[in-house]
Amino acid sequence: MTTDQAHCLILPYPVQGHINPMLQFSKRLQSKRIKITIAPTKSFLKNMKELPTSMSIEAISDGYDEGGRDQAGTFLAYATRFKEIGSDTLSQLIQKLANSGCPVNCIVYDPFLPWAVEVAKNFGLTSAAFFTQSCAVDNIYYHVHKGVIKLPPTQNDEEILIPGFSSPIEASDVPTFVINPEAERILEMLVNQFSNLDKVDWVLINSFYELEKEVIDWMSKIYPIKTIGPTIPSMYLDKRLHDDKEYGLSIFKPMTNECLNWLNHQPISSVVYVSFGSLAKLEAAQMEELACGLRNSNKNFLWVVRSTEEPKLPKNFIEELKLTSGNNKGLVVSWCPQLQVLEHESIGCFLTHCGWNSTLEAISLGVPMVAMPQWSDQPTNAKLVKDVWEIGVRAKQDEKGIVRREVIEECIKLVIEEDKGKVIRENAKKWKELARNVVDEGGSSDKNIEEFVSKLVKCKSHKK
């Protein structure tokens, strides 16, 4: 390690879905000879079941080293203390790295932590905001920030016209929040991502140009945007980074052998893979509808039910599955290696909450989707999946907010086997090809990463 090497300090927001993309981007930078230090919070690191070994890891503090967000109680308490203690501990870390002989020259930060820009400025460092959601969703929050639109929409807002989109979007397609006292604070954080974005040197987005051309062109007129995604391990895309087979960081332990052994015994394109990501909590009534919908679809399924969600499964569901089919009909696991599952030839469709990482992973691996969005950016992602990229259907909720078993069954059959789903299945293959090309040499994301790296290196040598 020398002082000549450009050095990026990566500051993620401490949840799995935000760290994974930043980690993957870091691996790309590292392969282009940028030194990386990644700095999650102490509380996050404490709970990790796996950690990446290929890069330097340091910790900052959110002020709640024992239990992070849960320890804080309210979201407001967490955000306030994170800003205060986070700024201090980040400054100390930058100082420590400067003393160690390889000073940092750029901070790549999650805009959920906008205070990082001030810290970067105090040390004369360049800064790059790294958005982990789609550009369409970022555009919506931008317009809330500017006061052009309001969230949540009112009852009169059946359709909302948002600059950057050629057609209006329905109220049910904008990001949503559970109506509770925290909702307002969370929305505030999302909108505040733009609070000091005019001070940053780069705005990096985990998406790719071909996927969101229109809105990327529009936002590029305002901010120095570079799309650098999809940030999934290289061996699932361009295969240029031979060691990059997995994210290498996980809060849950995947049941890898169970899943792969089971999938190996299933016919090609036959299995419904079901997951709602790392955070979503389903109502017991929804779990029951889902269980029945899966059973009635007559398709075999692999369903990820996190251990905290398991008590909500219908009584004896798992036991009955085992009794009636010796586990052949369905497998319920607490966590799986999602990329390996999506890549498996037995998978026929992905019933997903449409978290942005899951969406990009399905696109990258060519798996058609049944979208069952829950909250946050997921409804907007589901809209894109269904109407813009046409790689899935959306399982609609009824007036009580529950997706019924008949709807689930119908959607699964359409996507996996019916003629009506043929275009969806073909489109999924087309997007897979595109996703691989954009990160491969000369692709749109690869070029953007190259440009970022060369400016970083130039900027470092000017300062010498």
User: At closest approach, how far in Å is the CB of 206 from ligand UDP?
Assistant: 10
Among 238, 361, 409, 417, binds ligand UDP (CB under 6 A): 361
Give the single-character DSSP code of 148: S
Binding mask 272-311 for ligand UDP (x = CB under 6 A): ---x-xxxx-----------------------x-------
CA-to-CA distance for 101 and 200, rounded, in angstroms?
A: 25
| Total of residues contacting ligand UDP (CB under 6 A) | 18
CA-to-CA distance for 306 and 81, rounded, in angstroms?
A: 29
Q: Does 356 bind ligand UDP (CB under 6 A)?
A: yes
CA-to-CA distance for 8 and 25, rounded, in angstroms?
A: 11
Q: Which residue, 127 or 275, is less far from ligand UDP as judged by CB? A: 275
Which span sits near ligand UDP by CB under 6 A: 14-22, 58-66, 83-91, 164-172? 14-22
Q: Does 24 bind ligand UDP (CB under 6 A)?
A: no
Give me the amino acid identity at 121: K
Q: Which two tokens stand for residue 234?
A: 């290289």
Among 16, 24, 134, 297, binds ligand UDP (CB under 6 A): 16
Q: Which residue, 278 or 444, is less far from ligand UDP as judged by CB? A: 278
Q: Does 223 bind ligand UDP (CB under 6 A)?
A: no
Give me the amino acid identity at 223: Y
Q: Which residue, 106 or 339, is less far from ligand UDP as judged by CB? A: 339
Q: Which residue, 94 or 403, is less far from ligand UDP as judged by CB? A: 403
Contact 424, 415 (CB under 8 A): yes
Strand pairing of 225-227 and 169-170?
Answer: unpaired
Q: Does 338 bind ligand UDP (CB under 6 A)?
A: yes
Judge whether 18 counts as a catalytic residue.
Answer: yes
Q: Does 358 bind ligand UDP (CB under 6 A)?
A: yes
Cα 441–Cα 443–Cα 447 angle in degrees, nearest 5: 80
Which span sits near ligand UDP by CB under 6 A: 208-216, 271-279, 396-404, 419-427? 271-279
What is the phi/psi pair of residue 31, to 5°? -70, -15
Among 355, 368, 421, 443, binds ligand UDP (CB under 6 A): 355
**Which SS3 state, helix, strand or coil, does residue 169 take?**
strand
CA-to-CA distance for 39 and 42, rounded, in angstroms?
A: 9
**Which SS3 state, helix, strand or coil, does residue 354 take?**
coil
CA-to-CA distance for 167 and 382, rounded, in angstroms?
A: 16
Q: Does 173 bind ligand UDP (CB under 6 A)?
A: no
What is the phi/psi pair of residue 224, to 5°? -75, 75
Residue in 62, 110, 138, 446 annotated catalytic: 110
Which span sits near ligand UDP by CB under 6 A: 15-23, 285-293, 315-323, 438-446? 15-23
Q: Which residue, 16 or 445, is less far from ligand UDP as judged by CB? A: 16
Judge whether 110 counts as a catalytic residue.
Answer: yes
Nearest to 141, CA basis, from 155, 162, 157: 162
Q: Does 439 bind ligand UDP (CB under 6 A)?
A: no
Q: Does 133 bind ligand UDP (CB under 6 A)?
A: no
Residue 423, number of CB atoms within 10 A of its CB: 12
* DSSP string across 14-28: SSHHHHHHHHHHHHH
User: At closest approach, how far in Å is the CB of 418 from ligand UDP?
Assistant: 26
Q: Which residue, 317 or 335, is less far from ligand UDP as judged by CB? A: 335
What is the phi/psi pair of residue 370, to 5°? -110, 115
Q: Which residue, 16 or 193, is less far from ligand UDP as judged by CB? A: 16
Among 131, 236, 335, 389, binds ligand UDP (CB under 6 A): 335
Enumerate the β-bridge partners of residue 353: none
Contact 341, 259 (CB under 8 A): yes
Q: Which residue, 59 or 280, is less far from ligand UDP as judged by CB? A: 280
SS3 assignment for 273-314: EEECCCCCCCCHHHHHHHHHHHHHHCCCEEEECCCCCHHHCC
Q: Which two tokens stand for residue 3?
A: 């002082």
User: At closest approach, how far in Å is the CB of 71 from ligand UDP?
Assistant: 20
Which span sits near ligand UDP by CB under 6 A: 78-86, 335-343, 431-439, 450-458? 335-343
Q: Does 336 bind ligand UDP (CB under 6 A)?
A: yes
Catalytic positions, please?
A: 18, 110
Q: Which residues make up the interface to ligand UDP (CB under 6 A)?
A: 16-17, 20, 275, 277-280, 304, 335-336, 338-339, 355-358, 361
